Structure 1
């Protein structure tokens, strides 16, 4: 029976892959070899999120390349085959029931009235990392994005570590498939960002966050302010406002990191769009034609994406800045490639874009972070305020640091001792 079930699962994945590839070929409006600039940006208008299109209009360029297949890490695929059949959504369609590891919903029916909810849970438990990660010594630059504008850097921040430890959904590093502590803590995961190394006036600043499986329990979050030498607890509303890195709100990390249950989700459809999912240059190259406010020229390929809209439940996050979120998720790799957030007035406000590479190591000369299979690594991400033009771009790895491997995924580099209030305070000194 297990063999038959596995064959069925693999066959369904193969069918989905063929359908996605066929859809991309049929709807293609650009071809490999095309070079997109602000002068011919209209060619790709319907293939980009509005915020990404705004970037092209303001100087970011694109090299169009053939569409590639992005495979899941084998342990993640095996966990999906083993556990996904038992996963459902709760009676109120907000939370997961029966989740252990892998992708909760490997086959999403567009006609399912709860397709958007399932897509966002797939995003929460994406294949990019499942156990732990330590993204080390990366830099974030704040610049104004404008066509042909000379570089105008307004801020630079260097971060020591961005850390994550999953208590459920583990596929590669013991304990598997979940940490026994989950039974007592109820935490899905813990994240931390610390210490800020530059600029000097905020050196030591830190952020710590716990996410819980209980849909009615908000995240626990703390910020350490070195100036006041105080560890301050934050409510969920504060996670959608500027803390630490100016343009990157904690809810915006990795494209979208807010608690799914705090939003009403609507499926807007499947669409062929352009994504920078296997870029050429590592480290990323600051774009010379938009004031170094993005990454270009880089490789972009046609991808099949799920487009979902999230509207805040004001009873949960009444102070959120945004009226809605439009999230663009790759339907094969399950990573956020773009995310547009709209103001309370309904105007496009913040735009997130992601650049990734797909290989068995984050950089060509890696000596430690080397894997037996290819996986995705983020090379850069940008959040731009399209109303002011201020863009914050984080490079991973950063051209400005000696640490070039940066990404240590599912290697045990992050452990639970790193996610304590005392660890945050100690790192600040």
Structure 2
């Protein structure tokens, strides 16, 4: 066993989900560890032995002086300098702390580097969320198939001490997002030459628990509209996401401005490509991973200390233009911050007979926020194909660690796609409210008109 890898069994869990059977609920004595030796979300309270990862002390809960959301998130660590940089020349020295995808990027592009800064465990949630996590920790369990949750109400961490890989993934799927938010993300395919064309969207996401009249078995509602360029403007997607996808599959609709029709869209799932992504993003890789889990066998490998993107406040600076951020082959790495953190490693292997363009995916989940920070994506031949990377930061004004952007690097095609940057867009609105009628197919049709 690798010396840096702590096996999942030491955290009281099974290594993988046995097909066709649900795991036991969390025992009350285990749940009592929350807020004691574990944080309220299930991370280790203590720092690591070497001192490179500090103890969790409550996270970042106060905006820096002079914070103005219209100017983007102020960097509370702006005065810090990198401790060191990982480059192609010294890759071997740090290889044990890197994802397979990051090692491949360093090997492929001499211009790529990873600047490593002091580690800050900034993730924090409102006190009410901690209380809800503790309340539901001994109630929630996986559906027998593993493709859904039972006895779930509205906790943002249903499995604070995960017993399987799929439980860890569910923590990512339902993590806290301030109830709901409206934002204006860009999607940019960056060609090998460095050229790109921004595709702009207006997106509204509301968790069902934040709505007064949600339908049964609903996790969240999503409505996205492409606003530019003109060639694709007006395209809309509506999603009603179930909690338990064993009994009900995702409900999705699209609006095509050319046809002026609302159509059911079962293809908005799994490995079907996002239409504006030039084939670089699958629908289930949005937000690093979303949707049903039934096509993979999930293995909770264990927890590992790694160098991961974290506290990337520089990318949120609204004085930056997209041309300052996006370069040929990779982002402007001057703007990306990496830190040592503990992550859960989860392996997803395609089930026999199941179809997906990714035969294997290795996920790296932040122990504090449960956000997925990176994913290694493998093709049907077992070769590394792509790397996903999320740039997480603590949104200290609403106490939510939603990432500021995510990337898919195609190592075979030498192209990449950046999604979620808002530097040249309107600011995100958090804590929005909505009614069920706002997410109806009829509302989609009205918005199209």
The alignment status of 1:163 with 2:204, answered yes or no, reads yes
Say if 1:310 and 1:325, in contact at 8 Å, map to a contact too: yes
Which stretches in structure 1 are left out of the alignment for 5+ residues?
A: 146-150, 362-370
Which structure has greater helix proportion? 1
Secondary structure of 2:330's aligned partner: coil
Q: Take 2:443 and 2:91, find their aligned partners in 1: how far apart are those partners?
A: 48
Q: 1:240 aligns with which of 271, 274, 282?
A: 271
Match of 1:97 in 2: 150
C-alpha deviations, 1:391-420, integer Å up to 9, x for none? 111243233x3x1x22x23332x5433322
Q: Distance in 2 between matches of 1:397 and 1:219?
A: 28
Aligned-partner Cα distance in 1 for 2:351–2:248: 14
Gap regions ≥5 residues in structure 2: 1-28, 55-80
Pairing of 1:189-208 with structure 2 (within 5 A): 189-194=220-225, 196-208=226-238
Deviation at residue 68 of structure 1 after TM alignment: 1.2
2:345–2:362 CA contact under 8 A, matched in 1 = yes
For 1:222, the equivalent position in structure 2 comes to: 253
Q: Which residue of structure 1 lines up, in the alignment, with residue 194 of structure 2?
A: 152
Q: Deviations over 1:269-292 (max 9, x none)?
A: 211112222113143666779527
Quote how far apart the aligned CAs of 1:314 are.
Answer: 6.3
Alignment of 1:32-71 (within 5 A): 33-57=83-107, 58=109, 59-69=111-121, 70-71=123-124
Q: Which residue of 1 aligns with 2:161?
A: 107
Structure 2 residue aligned with 1:342, among 363, 374, 378? Answer: 378
1:296 to 325, 333, 337: 333
Q: Distance in 2 between matches of 1:411 and 1:24?
A: 42
1:265, distance to aligned residue in structure 2 (A):
0.8
Where does residue 305 of structure 2 map in the other structure?
A: 272
Instruction: Please tell me whether the aligned partners of residues 116 and 339 of structure 2 are also in contact (alpha carbons under 8 angstroms).
Output: yes
Q: Does 1:121 align with 2:170?
A: yes
Structure 2 contact 304–345 (Cα < 8 Å) conserved = yes
Whether 1:326 and 2:344 are equivalent positions in the alignment is: no
| 2: CA distance, partners of 1:17 / 1:89 | 20
Cα shift readout 1:195-253 (whole Å, capped 9, x = no counterpart)? x1222111111122222224143212223232333434333585422233312322111
Which of 413, 416, 436 lines up with 1:416 in the alignment?
436
CA contact (8 A) 1:219 1:236 kept: no
**1:322, distance to aligned residue in structure 2 (A):** 1.6
CA distance in 2, matches of 1:40, 1:289: 25
Q: CA deviation at 1:354?
A: 0.6
SS in structure 1 at match of 2:365: strand
Decide whether the 8 Å contact of 1:51 with 1:340 is kept in 2: yes
Q: Which moved more, 1:414-423 or 1:374-383?
A: 414-423
Q: Is the 8 A contact 2:304 2:343 kept in 1?
A: yes
- Aligned to 1:120, what secondary structure does the other structure show? helix
| Preserved CA contact (<8 Å) 2:316 2:423 | yes
Contact 2:146 2:293 in 1 (8 A): no
Aligned counterparts of 2:214 and 2:409: Cα–Cα separation in 1: 38
After TM superposition, the score normalised by the length of structure 1 is 0.79
> 1 or 2, which has the higher strand percentage?
1
Aligned residues: 382
